[in-house]
Amino acid sequence: MRLVDIKDLTVSFPQTEGLVQAVRGLTLHVAPGESLGIVGESGSGKSVTCMAVLRLLREPPARIAAERLELAGVDMRKADRRQLASMRGSVAAMIFQDPMTAFDPVFTIGHQIAETIRAHRAVSKSEAMAEAEDLLARVRIKAPKAVLQSYPHQLSGGMLQRAMIAMALSSRPQILFADEPTTALDVTIQAQILQLIKEIQAEYGMGLIMVTHDLGVVAETVDRVVVMYGGRVMEEGPVQEIFDAAAHPYTQALLGSIPGRVAGRQRLTEIKGASPNPAHPPSGCPFHPRCPVAEPRCAAEVPALAPFAPARAAACWRVA
């Protein structure tokens, strides 16, 4: 079974300047317990993809179409409100860049985690509170009792991020969506939080989708990576293989942009040329206007994401 199974997903938003095509025919999957990184420049459609599969986008304005959009075997296109609520609670959880958005400022952290637990399982208030304390300890918060009684604004960014992870874990999800979970934090705390996510993923046997700009983050936390550009998947494969021998010119450009490709966590630096305007995407391969090795065919026809080696695929006419 696939935990996440997306085939040919398209997400667009009608805007005055035209139809913004945020995701254009995206296919990806995650197996139970697997960790997948989604990387790509700003605006490539990473967040929209995650929100679409969790059905967190407002529709309208968002328009979602897919041949398949499944979470743990459930067709998310057909799920009604109740099913969606239960999927988001019990099957999937999401952590965001800004932990403030996950918490209500007027309630204590303990109250909010306990309420989430009680929304999923029939336990008493005191049992839920004890479990919340346990979860806070699990995300390596040193004074969990004090944090239980704190309000969100009383915690530092790193603490709040940990508390958000605890809250996400409280529903015991099969898959965790982490959308740029550490970019707001300083580098040392970033490393600690990533390590924590990785450990907890292994401990819970949970699937993970880690969305990031940062190839360093990907290298350290996931098994497999999907490289997105202009709302499409350009390349996918095991992390190490992609780092060692990227097949797609876009991925090569991304990797080339990392000075020395050492362990540091550089942001992706700019590749020459502008990223595509989602309201007026280029014909053919979205990367062709910036591609150093583009051929006439690349402007005319969209290359499909095609397997070329075990566990690897690329959407490029030059890779066969």
Ligand X SMILES: Nc1ncnc2c1ncn2[C@@H]1O[C@H](COP(=O)(O)OP(=O)(O)OP(=O)(O)O)[C@@H](O)[C@H]1O
Q: Where does this chain bind ligand X (CB under 6 A)?
A: 13, 15, 20, 22, 40, 42-48, 213, 278
CA distance 177 to 55: 13
The CB-of-297 to ligand X minimum distance in angstroms stands at 26
Tell me the closest approach of the beta carbon of residue 115 to ligand X, in angstroms: 28
Which one, 250 or 317, has the nearer CB to ligand X? 250
Binds 156: which of Mg ion, ligand X, none (CB < 5-8 Å by kind)? none
Q: Do 52 and 64 form a contact (C-beta atoms < 8 A)? A: yes
**Which residue's Cβ has the minimum distance to Mg ion?**
47
The footprint of Mg ion on residues 18-77 (CB under 5 A) is 47
Packing angle between helix 125-138 and helix 157-169, nearest 10 degrees? 120
Q: Which residues lie below 8 Å from residue 97, measured CB to CB, with a gap of 6+?
A: 179, 180, 181, 183, 184
CB of residue 11 to Mg ion, shortest distance in Å:
13
Two tokens, residue 203:
């401990």
Bridge pairing between strands 224-229 and 35-39: parallel
Nearer to Mg ion (CB atom), residue 133 or residue 214: 214
Residue 149 identity (one-letter amino acid) = Q
Q: Which C-beta is closer to ligand X: that of 177 or that of 317? A: 177
Least separation, in Å, of the C-beta of 38 and Mg ion? 9
Is residue 212 near Mg ion by the rule CB under 5 A? no
Which is closer to Mg ion, CB of 116 or CB of 161? 161
Q: How far apart are CA 50 and CA 226, in angstroms?
A: 13
**Distance, CA of 35 to CA of 38 (rounded, Å):** 10
Residues that bind Mg ion (CB under 5 A): 47
